[in-house]
Each structure stands twice: as structure tokens, then as C-alpha cells.
């Protein structure tokens, strides 16, 4: 079993720093890169925090996931959100129970609250709300259903990507967009694609022929870029925004196989900043999403609801940041 000392060695920091980060010590002044290394090392080493004597005294919280256990293993984005949630819950003395949206709802007997990670249909959310327990959703705006949530700042992030490309002299910008649905089969509108279309329209640059949509996977990104190359030929845009890093990785492979250089011929920017993005060749420009902080913010929000401190639902929006690397011109 991994220890705090193991995590400290992997992250290149002291054991004391690791302990304070994993115990959600808000007084600790530590950079986001250091914090991210600690979380990444802890998650990679499958660190399990030992339960203190106080654990379970504050009750049981269901961490509900929209992916199956197997599906989550291939999605680092949701794994790190969950890790942030469970780390903060354990640090605050809650017992953690994992549930999955495809299965039955969590048993509400003795349940202190629910943190639902991912995307859910209106029907699923109404069932969760019907349990009459404090509820927070992470990574989906659910205010229209009267449910508090934690989301990332898609609006500013996508606008920043577009402005970066335009400032670099790119006249056309394509998009490798993602499509997904809830576990009960309801299609979802991806905020990145929606914001991309809206912002490009305001700049009088929107061209639907330059948007290619498929599942959020590396293979899909590869296939979609192949489609773009075949369909557009010499009119292929010299800049592409991919809705997540997996799509971007597949798209870059397709570009390289076609003889195009990245970024000399086509620049690519992804989204999510998964660990592998900085080590591929070329290293991937992307948007860093503070996934662990999203999870921790959800726990803070849940506790406000439990204490009766919120009279109306709120959306806590966590800032994101464009990280420029080799796959796009700086």
C-alpha cells in the first residue's frame, strides 16, 4: 500500500507538504503545479487514506459516477475529479460510498449527502433530488433543475483558444468536437462545441464544414481528422481546437501520418491537460482544468448545503488556464 512518503518521493516534495495537501489544509501556500503533482502521484500509486477515528461520525456520502468502474479507468479527467472528492471527504471525516448511475440509486438510509460526478439526464437528476438529501453535481450545469453544481469555465477557455489562433494569423479554425450521452441514452450538448460556435459566429468566422464530431476517444480523434483531411484537402484549416486531449492526440497522429507537420502545417490545441499531453511529441497545447479542485469544491459546497447555509442553488465555476506547448505556435 502506498504511503505519504512514497507520494512525496514521486512528487519531489516533503512528506509534510503531501500530508497537508491530501488533508485539504486551506492554510497551506503551495503552487498549483506542486499540488497537481501530488494528486497525480497519489492517484497513480492508488493511495488510500487511512480512516481516522472521526471517520463516519459525520455520516456517509455517496460519490455517484456516471461512468462504469471500467469506463472510468480509461478517463483520467473523471478519475482525478473523483480523487479530489474522496480526498476531501475523507479529510473531513465522512465515510465514502461509491455508486454508479447505471445501477440503483444509493440507499438513503443514513446518507448524509450525494456528490454526482459527470453528466446526467433530467430524469436521472430528478430521481437523485427525490432522495431529499444534500446534492451537488460536478461537471454539469444543473441550476435549471434547482441543483447546486461545480463546473469549469468553458466560456473563457474556448474564447482564449480562438483569440490565440486569430492573433497568430490563422484565418480559419476547425474543431474536432466530442459527442456523448447519459447512461440512460439521452444525448448531451457539449459546452465546448456550443461556445466555439457562438464565439466564432460573433467573429463572423463560423463554418460548420470545419467541425467534425465523434466520441471523446483517441481513435475517434484519429478518424475525424482523417475525414477532415479527405473532405477538405488543400482547404484544411491550419488550426484545430479539439474538445479534449484524447481527441487531440488522435488528430495529431492522423495529421502526421498524412505528412503534415504539427504545428508548422497545422496547429492543434486540446482541452483537459491530462498527464500524457506534456510528454507526447510534439507536446500538446491544452487547457488545464483544475479537476482535483473541482472535486474539493464540491465537498465544500455539500457541507454548506448540509449546514443550511444556502437558500438557493449555486454554480461554483472553477477557472481554467490555456497552457501553450509545442503543438501550437506561441
Whether the domain at 55-152+290-319 and the domain at 154-289 fall into the same CATH topology: yes
The CATH superfamily assigned to 154-289 is Response regulator (3.40.50.2300)
Instruction: Please report, in tens digits, the pLDDT of each residue of the chain (330 residues total).
Output: 678 778 878 788 877 777 777 765 655 666 667 776 777 777 667 676 665 544 456 799 999 999 776 666 667 788 889 989 998 999 899 999 988 876 677 888 889 999 999 999 999 999 999 999 999 999 999 999 999 999 999 999 999 999 999 999 999 999 999 999 998 889 999 999 999 999 999 999 999 999 999 999 999 999 999 999 999 999 999 999 999 999 999 999 999 999 999 999 999 999 999 888 888 999 999 999 999 899 999 999 999 999 998 889 999 999 999 999 999 976
Gap between the Cα atoms of 185 and 158, Å rounded: 27
CB 235 within 8 A of CB 245: no
DSSP string, 139-168: SS--GGGT-EEEEE-HHHHHHHHHHHHHHT
Nearest to 183 by CA among 79, 64, 272, 77: 64
Nearest to 51 by CA among 107, 89, 20: 89
Number of H helices, E strands in the chain: 11, 12
Give this prediction's pTM.
0.83
DSSP secondary-structure letter at 253?
A: H
The CATH superfamily assigned to 55-152+290-319 is Response regulator (3.40.50.2300)
| Domain ranges across the chain | 1-48, 55-152+290-319, 154-289
What cell does 108 get?
438513503
The CATH superfamily assigned to 1-48 is lambda repressor-like DNA-binding domains (1.10.260.40)
Nearest to 63 by CA among 302, 329, 324, 251: 302
What cell does 151 get?
463546473
Nearest to 222 by CA among 214, 211, 232, 231: 214
Nearest to 71 by CA among 95, 100, 105: 100
Nearest to 314 by CA among 304, 324, 306, 322: 304
Amino acid at each position: 500500500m502506498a504511503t505519504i512518503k512514497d507520494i512525496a518521493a514521486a512528487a519531489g516534495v516533503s512528506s509534510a507538504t503531501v500530508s497537508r495537501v491530501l488533508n485539504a489544509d486551506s492554510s497551506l501556500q503551495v503552487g498549483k503545479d506542486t499540488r497537481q503533482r501530488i494528486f497525480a502521484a497519489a492517484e497513480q500509486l492508488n493511495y488510500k487514506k487511512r480512516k481516522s477515528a472521526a471517520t463516519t461520525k459525520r455520516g456517509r456520502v455517496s460519490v455517484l459516477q456516471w461512468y462504469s468502474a471500467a469506463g472510468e479507468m480509461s478517463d483520467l479527467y473523471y478519475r482525478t475529479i473523483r480523487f479530489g472528492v474522496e480526498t476531501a471527504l475523507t479529510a473531513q471525516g465522512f465515510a465514502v460510498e461509491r455508486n454508479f448511475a447505471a445501477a440503483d440509486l444509493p440507499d438513503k438510509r443514513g446518507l448524509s449527502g450525494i456528490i454526482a460526478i459527470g453528466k446526467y439526464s433530467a430524469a436521472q437528476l430528478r430521481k437523485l433530488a427525490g432522495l431529499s438529501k444534500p446534492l451537488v453535481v460536478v461537471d454539469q450545469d444543473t441550476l435549471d433543475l434547482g441543483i447546486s453544481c461545480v463546473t469549469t469555465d468553458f466560456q473563457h477557455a474556448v474564447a482564449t483558444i480562438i483569440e490565440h489562433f486569430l492573433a497568430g494569423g490563422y484565418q480559419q479554425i476547425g474543431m474536432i468536437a466530442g459527442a456523448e450521452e447519459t447512461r440512460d441514452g439521452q444525448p448531451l450538448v457539449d459546452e465546448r462545441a456550443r461556445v466555439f460556435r457562438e464565439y466564432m459566429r460573433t467573429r463572423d468566422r463560423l463554418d460548420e464544414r470545419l467541425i467534425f464530431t465523434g466520441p471523446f476517444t483517441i481513435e475517434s480523434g484519429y478518424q475525424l481528422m482523417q475525414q477532415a483531411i479527405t473532405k477538405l484537402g488543400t482547404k484544411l484549416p491550419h488550426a484545430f481546437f479539439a474538445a479534449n486531449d484524447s481527441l487531440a492526440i488522435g488528430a495529431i497522429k492522423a495529421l502526421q501520418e498524412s505528412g503534415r507537420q504539427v504545428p508548422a502545417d497545422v496547429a492543434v490545441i486540446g482541452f483537459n491537460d491530462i498527464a500524457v499531453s506534456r510528454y507526447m511529441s510534439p507536446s500538446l497545447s491544452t487547457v488545464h482544468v483544475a479537476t482535483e479542485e473541482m472535486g474539493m469544491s464540491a465537498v465544500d459546497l455539500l457541507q454548506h448545503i448540509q449546514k443550511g447555509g444556502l437558500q438557493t442553488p449555486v454554480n461554483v465555476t472553477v477557472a481554467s488556464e490555456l497552457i501553450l506547448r509545442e503543438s501550437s505556435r506561441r
